Chain A
Amino acid sequence: MSERPSSLGHEFSKGILLENPVLRLALGTCPTLAVSTSLENAIGMGVAATLVLMLSNASISLLRNVIPQRVRIPSYIVIIAAFVTIIQMLIKAYAPALNEALGIYLPLIVVNCIILGRAEAFASKNRVFVSVLDGLGMGIGFTLALCCMAVLREFFGSGELTLKAFGHGTSLTALFGLQEGNLLSAIGLEPVTIFLLAPGGFFVFGLLMALVNRLGREKKGADACENNCSACPMAALCAGKEGEV
């Protein structure tokens, strides 16, 4: 049976807004908070995680009838770890600066709950093409959420915005032709360094989540933990309580 185009579009787009993994489902919070200090890092992390997500979704979907039910989680972890290692080696080879900047958060993509969550909730039950689309949508949603965080934190924290990806591009100060100082000092304000530090990360994330809650009120948004409980590390303790944001 072939899927209708409308449902394919839905599988792709749901991850971007309605079921945004970071802002609506609160998955993958660790990398979101850790690497969102600059837009360049956010894009790098987002792209790396998206690639891993698509590749792992594809292979898990292909193997879904082969992997025994009882050892599925370890199998998924091995598949994900293999792809993370491949991506990590590619980044080391072609974007060493990004590798430095992301540090231990790059290998930690393995334990990013978004990837394991999608493997368990989607790829293990669906066909290859739809799974890849789902992975791409979720990955883009993750990247967008990261970029939102990074833009706010970098701009208010340093008054600067690096418009770079993988070492190529420019910065906002250069774009505006400022010779010295930064954008905030140009209009007589001081950068607030705390935005770049840990508390700023928590604060901006809370702010964005509140905003999404507020805007998503009238839409029939997905319930926070819907059908993700089986893969969620917190399932045993939350019993659907924590998710009711």
Chain B
Amino acid sequence: MKLLAIIFAAVFTNNFILSKFLGICPFLGVSKKTNTAFGMSLAVLFVMLLASIVCYPINCFLEARGMEYLQTLVFILVIAALVQLVELVLKRHLPALYQALGIYLPLITTNCAVLGVVTLNVSEAYGFAESVANAFGAGLGFLVAMLIFSGVREHLEGNDIPDFWKGLPATLVAAAFTACSFLGFAGVAGNLFGM
């Protein structure tokens, strides 16, 4: 039940993009078309899950040695290495998946959502299962937000907007309204799962 609550909260109430502002770069950069938004989100979900799984034992090791101060440094290195590794493995063994996700993978190292998930797992003192649930929820929330927003943007495309609002400013205002719709979920997780 607690795992479900964590997933629900990460997808809706504390959506990574729309309420925590993590992963804004891909949110604004790759959301123009639904296809690319979907591919990017899948890659992010995949790396988030892997990073959480790998970083959990590493963090246990660091904490046992009293070396918590190395967390940030080690996590970002682990993520960078993981992304490289995933790229290599996919290229060799799953070329079809590599075709689909390949171009997004290198972009993920500097995606703050991935480091954000890992850091959040540590700061909330989540156990292994909770960490994985959190990562899964965060990735799923990322996917949901990206898909909704790419739909919004496709509608925005042909509209007549004043020159200086064109591009990012108009996109950001659209994002504001998308974020509004997620405000409605506030408190739902608490009541639904009795937490």
B169 within 8 A of A: yes
B34 within 8 A of A: no
Q: Do A245 and B175 touch (CB < 8 A)?
A: no
**Per-position contact with A for B103-145: 1 when CB-CB < 8 Å, else 0?**
1001101111001100110010000000000000000000000
A209 within 8 A of B: yes
Q: Do A206 and B168 touch (CB < 8 A)?
A: yes
Q: Do B29 and A237 touch (CB < 8 A)?
A: yes
Please report the C-alpha to C-alpha distance between residue A242 and residue B167 in the assembled complex, in whole angstroms.
Answer: 7
B152 within 8 A of A: no
Q: Do A82 and B73 touch (CB < 8 A)?
A: yes
Cross-interface CB contact of B176 among A77, A200, A217, cutoff 8 Å: A200
Given the contacts A33-B24, A85-B70, A116-B110, A237 and B36 also touching, CB distance less than 8 Å = yes
Q: Do A202 and B111 touch (CB < 8 A)?
A: no
With a cutoff of 8 Å between Cβ atoms, the chain B residues found around residue A234 in the complex are 25-26, 29-30, 107
Please report the C-alpha to C-alpha distance between residue A24 and residue B107 in the assembled complex, in whole angstroms.
Answer: 21
Q: Do A81 and B72 touch (CB < 8 A)?
A: yes
Q: Do A111 and B169 touch (CB < 8 A)?
A: no
Q: Do B21 and A77 touch (CB < 8 A)?
A: no
Q: Do A199 and B176 touch (CB < 8 A)?
A: yes
With a cutoff of 8 Å between Cβ atoms, the chain B residues found around residue A113 in the complex are 25, 110
B5 within 8 A of A: no
With a cutoff of 8 Å between Cβ atoms, the chain A residues found around residue B26 in the complex are 233-234
Given the contacts A81-B72, A85-B69, A199-B183, A29 and B119 also touching, CB distance less than 8 Å = no
Closest A residue to B36 by beta carbon equals A237
With a cutoff of 8 Å between Cβ atoms, the chain A residues found around residue B72 in the complex are 81, 84-85, 88, 107, 110
A: number of interface residues (CB 8 Å): 48
Closest B residue to A86 by beta carbon equals B69
Q: Do A104 and B76 touch (CB < 8 A)?
A: no
Q: Do B29 and A242 touch (CB < 8 A)?
A: yes
Cross-interface CB contact of B112 among A30, A209, A245, cutoff 8 Å: A30
Q: Do B167 and A244 touch (CB < 8 A)?
A: yes
With a cutoff of 8 Å between Cβ atoms, the chain A residues found around residue B28 in the complex are 26, 29, 242
Of residues 137 through 178 on chain B, the ones whose CB sits less than 8 Å from some CB of chain A are 163-173, 175-177
Of residues 189 through 244 on chain A, the ones whose CB sits less than 8 Å from some CB of chain B are 194, 197-203, 205-207, 209-210, 213-214, 217, 233-234, 236-238, 242, 244
B: number of interface residues (CB 8 Å): 51
**Per-position contact with B for A105-124: 1 when CB-CB < 8 Å, else 0?**
00110111100100000000
**Per-position contact with B for A31-42: 1 when CB-CB < 8 Å, else 0?**
101100000000
Cross-interface CB contact of A210 among B106, B115, B164, B180, cutoff 8 Å: B164
CB distance from B86 to the nearest CB of A (A): 16
A positions within 8 Å CB-CB of B: 26, 29-31, 33-34, 74, 77-78, 81-82, 84-85, 88-89, 103-104, 107-108, 110-113, 116, 194, 197-203, 205-207, 209-210, 213-214, 217, 233-234, 236-238, 242, 244-245
**15 additional A-B residue pairs with CB within 8 Å, beyond A200-B176, A201-B176:** A78-B77, A84-B72, A197-B179, A198-B183, A202-B176, A202-B179, A206-B172, A207-B169, A210-B169, A213-B169, A233-B107, A233-B109, A236-B103, A237-B103, A245-B169
8 A-B Cβ contacts within 8 A? A77-B80, A78-B73, A110-B72, A113-B25, A206-B173, A210-B164, A236-B106, A237-B29
B positions within 8 Å CB-CB of A: 18-26, 28-30, 36, 69-73, 76-77, 80, 103, 106-107, 109-112, 115-116, 119-120, 123, 163-173, 175-177, 179-180, 182-183
The 3 closest A-B pairs by CB, nearest first: A206-B172, A202-B176, A210-B169
